[in-house]
Structures are given as structure tokens and as C-alpha cells.
Amino acid sequence: MGNRGMEELIPLINKLQDAFSSIGQSCHLELPQIAVVGGQSAGKSSVLENFVGRDFLPRGSGIVTRRPLILQLVNSKAEYAEFLHCKGRKFVDFDEVRLEIEAETDRLTGSNKGISPVPINLRVYSPNVLNLTLIDLPGMTKVAVGDQPVDIEYQIRDMLLQFISKESCLILAVTPANSDLANSDALKISKEVDPQGLRTIGVITKLDLMDEGTDARDILENKLLPLRRGYIGVVNRSQKDIDGRKDIKAALAAERKFFLSHPAYRHLAERMGTPYLQKTLNQQLTNHIRDTLPALRSKLQSQLLSLEKEVDEYKNFKPDDPARKTKALLQMVQQFGVDFEKRIEGSGDQVDTLELSGGARINRIFHERFPFELVKMEFDEKELRREISYAIKNIHGVRTGLFTPDMAFEAIVKKQLIKLKEPCLKCIDLVIQELINTVRQCTLKLNSYPLLREETEKIVTTYIRERESKTKDQVMLLIDIELSYINTNHEDFIGFANAQQRSAAVNKKRAMPNQVIRRGWLTINISIMKGGSKDYWFILTAESLSWYKDEEVPSGTWWTPTPASSTRASET
Ligand code: GDP
Ligand code: MG
């Protein structure tokens, strides 16, 4: 010792330890520390109390230490204790310290022997202690009692391993001398994480309780199960001493006397006993901290750097700056516009190969779905024949007609034209639905701003709905216009002469799929496949309505409603 800088090391680590404890140990730093492990009643708590020179740890039969206790010993003139969980309160009465440990343990574990890995942080200031930080851990046990879960043995093991498997942790393995060293729980678990015995310090308690004629000399001379840091023997107070309130000072004196007078240990007396153990631990922890400090520092520095970067980014971000907010908002809305246009108008970049875009779907509606809807329109042939014949007969009235009257043609054609309204409206509905789906997909990007997303969707959808009703009105109006006046002079109107000329060309088309849709309402020619083997071709032209069974269609009369076909209508 004697090196001022070195003496500051342990308090420095203590500060870090407190900081980590109060933020819930979320930090991945491994602080150098000493963990005390051993079987139940091995004497762990007794060793710690002897360091402090005070009775302050809960005692009793069974499992008493049920949460890890991080015990920071700080050399100071005044003698008192404080807990991290009630900072500012100075405990000068060490009986109260014990009560507080008990109360704090129960607070997390319940009063019936449960355990918890959340540590209690206790700091003891005293002129009798050397700077030292130790962690008192629950003793290893085999049988569950009270509220303990059946797997208590493994739970405790896990908790111990959490602490001692870190390379930065020194292990104080406490083993009672009156049991076989080979069976020591402490040494067994230490060996698992430190097989070469590099960071394990052996402590042999209860040397005074060994059977007469036996001793632990081989162990203490580090011959039996050698550890690099060796073994230190101690004699704590027996239960009788504690019950009789034997004071620790007297106990330490008795311990010293024990080693000096025992024939097997006399030669080792200077390297035995509690004061020597405390001194050794202080030195070893200090050295250990010094060794692990460079790695700790570089880890801390890299964490600091990344934290600083985060803070910087946050500073620059200035989320409350209104100018920034507006800009971000505008950018997002613009992006929405661009995305929407791309989906409807199509684009070369980032072509989706998994599904159709909004625009492509709308195209499909116009060129596949709409014709299909038209084709699907049902015509009852018998009904139609009767309607046509009635129309003709009603127009002629009492007279028998010579020619098919125009008015009959109009009445029948108009009735058929009106049927176009429904598929047209359906087509509009489908397109609207597709537009709204596209809007939804484009607003997905705004998901992190739910209000903005909702508002954007609302505005755009409302607009689309407005256009929807206008479009429907417009399309209905168009059909109504066509219904109100059939212009037989229009260039698209197929008269007898024209029809005859074109019959050959269209005849070829007939071999193609089942619908031909031409410009202008009055030249809409619809051929209907009524499924199955019975195919009817129904031809609606400006001049007449004709229908044929597939095989009956005479090629020459295809576009020429001959008197025969008209007669056929009137015949029915
Ligand atoms: P822990 O469960 O490991 O914390 O063990 P304790 O420190 O509570 O000790 C358990 C019992 O063993 C207590 O009754 C102690 O008085 C007793 N004990 C511990 N160390 C010694 C020792 O060195 N000699 C004697 N005679 N009794 C001891
Ligand atoms: Mg204990």
C-alpha cells in the first residue's frame, strides 16, 4: 500500500457501482468485484462481519441471505452505514442496519424465504475497515423450504453464476474445515467458471471445529487443491459466541491466539486470520482493478463516444423548430403525391413484380372487367322476341304494317341501352375502390405520423368521393343523351349500304372472342355467348336487333338485317 493513487481505486469503482445500481444495471460494463460464495452456513456472513467488526448481517437457520448484498467497505474516521435505496440516512446503530437489510430483502422476495437477484447496496464507513467491496450471495442449498420454488438449487446457482462467471470478478470461495474439501460447494462452482483457479481465493472457516487429530494444514499450505491465490484460514465466532454476544474484537484476539498456539498452523500464523484476509483482499482487489482498468476505460470511452454522438444528433435535430417541422411535413406530402402518381401513371424505377399497381389494375377494369360486365348482361330471348313483336304491332295499331317502323326500333334499342347504366356504374365503383386502395398504400410511409396519415387520407379520399358522384352523373347523362335522340345521320351509324360493305370484315372478327365494342353508342355491337354448347349471337345495331344461334348465322346477312330476320322477330 502506501500509494495514494492506488488507494483511490476502490472508492472509484464503488462510485461506478452505485451509478450502475441506481440505473438498474443496464450497463454492460463489468466492474471488478469480489463475490463471496459457499454452501449454507459455511460462514460467509461471519467473515464479512468480522471485517467490519460489527454484527450487522441477518442470521438464523436456513437461507438468510436471499438477495445479493453489495457491501462497500470504506475506510473513514467516522463509523456509520448507508443504503443506496435510502440515501442520506446515516445508520450508526448496526442493529438497525440488520433490520433494514431484512426489511429490504422481504420487500422484493416476500417474507417466506423466496430469493431475488436484485442486489441491496450497503456502504459501511469505519476506521476498522480497509477499502474493499464484496458481494454476499445466498448460500447454496439443496432442499426447498417455505415459499421457495422446487428448483431453488438451480435458481441460486444461476444467480451465483451471473456474478462469478464474469472475468472481472474475484471469487471468495468459503468452505468450512469440518467438511471434506472435495465436497466443497464453493470450490466446485468456482472451478466451473475458473478452472485454473486464477481468480479464486480460498477461505477455510471453522478450523476450530475440526475433529481432534485432524487439521487443514495441507489445504492451507495450498498443496491439496492448489489455487493461484492460495487459501486463508479463519476462525469466526461460534453460534454460542454470538448468542453470548461475544464482541468481535475479542473474537479476533481469540482467532489470533488460535493460530499462534495451534501446532499445525503456528508456522503459517502470519498468513492466517481475518485481518490478514482483509488485507489480502484489499490488495488483490486493488491489483485486480489496476489490471482491469485499461479495458474498463476503453470500454467506457467507446460508450461515452457513442452516447455523445446520440446527444449531438438529438441536439441538431431540434424537433421543436417550427421551420423544420413545416419542411418535413411538406416533404412527406410531396412524396405522397409523387408516389401516388407513380402508382397510377406507372414508372420505370422500382418496378413491382409481385402484384399489379393501381394504374395497371384500373387498366384491367376498363379493358377486361367492363367488357365482361357488358357481356354478362342477361337477355331473355323469348321475352325480347315478344317485346319486339308487341312494339311493332302496337305501332301499326289496327293496320297491318308493310315495313318495320322506326319507332319500334327505338323503343327496343332504348330499353337495351338503359341496361348499360348498371355496368357503367359498377365500373366507376371499381375504379374508385382502386384509387382509394392506392391512396392507402401511399400513406403507409406516413405511419409514424398517425395524425398526418389520417388527415391526408381523409382529404384525398373525400376529394375522390366528390369526383365519384360527378363522374357517375356525367356517365348517366351521356347515356341519357344517346337515349333521347338517335342520330341516324351520324357517320358512325351503320346504314343498310354501309353495313353490307363491312359485313365481310366483321365476319372475320366474329371468329375472334365474343365481344366487339365500337365507337359511339349506336354502333355498339354486342355478341353474347350464353355459355355451354348453345351459343347465341345477339347483334344490336342501329338498324335492328338480330339474334342467331351460332350455326344459323348466314355470312351474307350478318350485318344486313334482311327482311327475313326482321320478320323472324315479328313472327314470334
Ligand atoms: P453463512 O450461511 O455462510 O452466511 O454462515 P454464517 O456466517 O451465518 O455462519 C453459520 C453458522 O456457523 C453460525 O452459527 C456461525 O456462528 C457458525 N460459524 C461460522 N464460522 C465459524 C467458525 O469459524 N467457527 C465456529 N465455531 N463457528 C462458525
Ligand atoms: Mg449468510
Ligand 1: centre distance to CA 459 (Å) = 78
Q: What is the pLDDT, as a whole number, of residue 155?
A: 87
Of 188, 228, 180, nearest to 204 (Cα)?
A: 180
* CA 163 – ligand 2 centroid, Å: 17
CA–CA separation, 503 vs 490, rounded Å?
19
Sign of CA dihedral 484, 485, 490, 492: positive
Q: Detail the DSSP E strand segments found in 310-446.
A: none
pLDDT at residue 439 in the model: 93
Class assignment of domain 32-287?
alpha beta
Model-level pTM? 0.55
- Domain 359-484 has what CATH class? mainly alpha
Ligand number nearest CA of 216 is: 1
Q: Is the CB–ligand 1 distance for residue 32 below 6 Å?
A: no
Instruction: Tell the residue number behind the cell numbers 322506326, with chain if given.
Output: 406
Compute the distance from residue 278 Cα to the ligand 2 centre, in Å: 18
Pocket test for ligand 1, best of 46, 137, 189 (most atoms within 8 A of CB): 46
Length of the chain: 572
* Segment holding 561, helix H or strand E: none
Residue 465 CA to ligand 2 center (angstroms) comes to: 76
d(CA 215, CA 178): 9
- All residue ranges of the chain with pLDDT < 50 are 1-2, 26, 509-572
Listed in sequence order, the residues at least 6 apart from 291 whose beta carbon sits closer than 8 Å to its beta carbon are: none
Full 3-state SS string of 162-223? HHHCCCCEEEEEEEECCCCHHHCHHHHHHHHHCCCCCCEEEEEECHHHCCCCCCCHHHHCCC
Nearest CA to ligand 1 atom 11: 41
Residue nearest to atom 2 of ligand 1 (CA): 41
State the ligand closest to the CA atom of 46: 1
What pLDDT was estimated at residue 136? 92
Model pLDDT, residue 429: 93
Task: Give the whole-angstrom CA distance, residue 110 versus residue 104.
Answer: 10
How far does the centroid of ligand 1 lie from the alpha carbon of residue 41, in Å?
Answer: 6
Nearest CA to ligand 1 atom 17: 238
List the grid coordinates of 375: 357481356
| Range 501-567 classified under CATH 2.30.29.30 | yes
pLDDT for residue 357: 82
Centre of ligand 2 from the C-alpha of residue 291, in Å:
30
Helix (H, G, I), strand (E, B) or coil at 122: strand
Extents of the domains making up the chain: 32-287, 359-484, 501-567
Q: Is the CB–ligand 1 distance for residue 40 below 6 Å? A: yes
What's the pLDDT score for residue 496? 53
Can you give the pLDDT at residue 567? 34
Q: Is the CB of 43 under 6 A from ligand 1?
A: yes
